[in-house]
Amino acid sequence: MNIKIRAIETEYPENIVDNEFYIKHFKEQGKDINRLLEAFGRKERRIVNNDSDTTLSMGIQASLKVLESANLKGDDIDLIIFSSQFPEYICPTQALIVHNAIKGKNDTIVMDLNVNCLGMLVTLDTASRQLLQNKKLKRALIIGSDYASIHMKHSDELCYPMFADAACAMILEKTNEECGFIDSDYFTDSRKYSAVMYPQCGSSSYYKDTTSYDDMKFGWSECDDDVIDIAVNSINKLLKDNNLNISDISAFCLSQFALPIINGCIDRLRLDSKKVIFVGDKFGYTGTSSPLMAFNDGVKSGKIKRGDYVVFWSIAATRTACSVLYKY
């Protein structure tokens, strides 16, 4: 018995914003971000430009799409986990609202999960293990969604042009096929926890007269310089623990935050660059769904096929990381 990925779908705004918008925006502030955008691999990103799209609405649409793709209904789902770092609501859970939207059954388990940019990958791991351990459960719907762009300071050249908006949904189910979830590996170093905070002011300061809108937004004060080391060590350990070699892996779906992370892993792990999927140039950085957006691209393009070994890896503030090994 194992847990397979039955289907995956995505949802994102139709509005495409290219680099010129941000280059002009920051030029008016006396900042040149051309080299930064080039280094990070940014070209386009999908950005919400209306009053109707939210983290929740995109998550619901992705969920409806993936149910249709898998030829399933809401009452076929036993577990719903919604991952987001920018939820539309904290109460009730977004998973509960998704349950209502898909007309789920009464004995469905629903929960939200937040591990920031690592969220959907941890959700994939958590849901897979819960399905394996609970004989009452057969299928899970997992969702990763972030309407991130609205929470970025317009004066922040690192975050405002990098983050974008998207959702991803997957159906996981028990199977007797020779495929599915294999293992995961985690890394956490919490010493620099205050380097990235949202809301930067802390929620207890929301209603103070001294709190500005920028105080409420996403705050990022420094970047890690050893992210590639963390990724390389985790992936090597994961493969060693499961008696696999780099050459056995057909696809690597990594954090899409910055192209140097991708290239650094290619160099250090001596990967075939064709096996490493990068979609950050056309979708920007979508936060919690980031590595799964790459996986969806690999599946839909035919780069990833049934029976392929796939390694996922991502990292979240500041610093917790996870790698997951699946046989698709």
pLDDT of residue 222 exceeding 80: no
What pLDDT sits at residue 299? Answer: 99
* Rounded average pLDDT over 129-150: 98
Say how far apart CA 289 and CA 124 lie, in whole Å. 11
Residue 186 neighbours by CB under 8 Å, 6+ apart:
234, 320, 321, 322
What amino acid occupies position 86?
F
Cα–Cα nearest to 280, from 117, 101, 112: 117
Query: How is residue 225 written in tokens?
Result: 């310089």
Instruction: State the CB neighbour count (10 A cutoff) for residue 53.
Output: 21
161 upstream amide cis, omega within 30 of 0:
no
pLDDT of residue 223 exceeding 90: no
Assess contact for 325 and 193: CB atoms under 8 A.
no
DSSP annotation of 300: H
What pLDDT sits at residue 318? Answer: 84
262: exposed, middle or buried (Cβ count in 10 Å: 0-12, 13-18, 19+) = buried
Assess contact for 226 and 313: CB atoms under 8 A.
no
Tens of pLDDT, residue by residue over 227-257, are 999 999 999 999 999 999 999 999 999 999 9
What pLDDT sits at residue 131? Answer: 98
Q: Which fold has domain 2-177?
A: Peroxisomal Thiolase; Chain A, domain 1 (3.40.47)
Assess contact for 168 and 8: CB atoms under 8 A.
yes
What pLDDT sits at residue 224? Answer: 67
What pLDDT sits at residue 167? Answer: 99
How, if at all, do strands 79-83 and 139-147 pair? parallel
Q: What is the mean pLDDT of the chain?
A: 97
DSSP annotation of 268: H
| % residues pLDDT > 70 (the chain) | 99
| % residues pLDDT > 90 (the chain) | 96
Q: What is the pTM of this model?
A: 0.97
279: exposed, middle or buried (Cβ count in 10 Å: 0-12, 13-18, 19+) = buried
Residue 105's pLDDT band, with cuts at 50, 70 and 90, is: very high
Assess contact for 301 and 279: CB atoms under 8 A.
no
Query: How is residue 5 written in tokens?
Result: 């990925």
Tens of pLDDT, residue by residue over 34-88, are 999 999 999 999 999 999 999 999 999 999 999 999 999 999 999 999 999 999 9
Tell me the DSSP string of 5-73.
EEEEEEE--S-EEEHHHHHHHHHTTT---HHHHHHHT-SEEE---SSS--HHHHHHHHHHHHHHHTT--
**Topology alike, domains 2-177 and 181-196+222-327:** yes
Cα–Cα nearest to 307, from 183, 179, 182: 179
The domain locations on the chain are: 2-177, 181-196+222-327
Cα–Cα nearest to 324, from 120, 166, 141, 80: 120
From residue 13, how far is each of 55, 93, 319 by CA, in Å? 11, 23, 29
Say how far apart CA 232 and CA 126 lie, in whole Å. 22
Assess contact for 15 and 51: CB atoms under 8 A.
no
Residue 256 neighbours by CB under 8 Å, 6+ apart:
278, 279, 280, 283, 285, 286, 290, 291, 293, 294
Cα–Cα nearest to 109, from 125, 121, 126: 126
pLDDT of residue 225 exceeding 90: no
Kindly report the CATH number that applies to the domain delimited by 181-196+222-327: 3.40.47.10
* Rounded average pLDDT over 124-150: 98
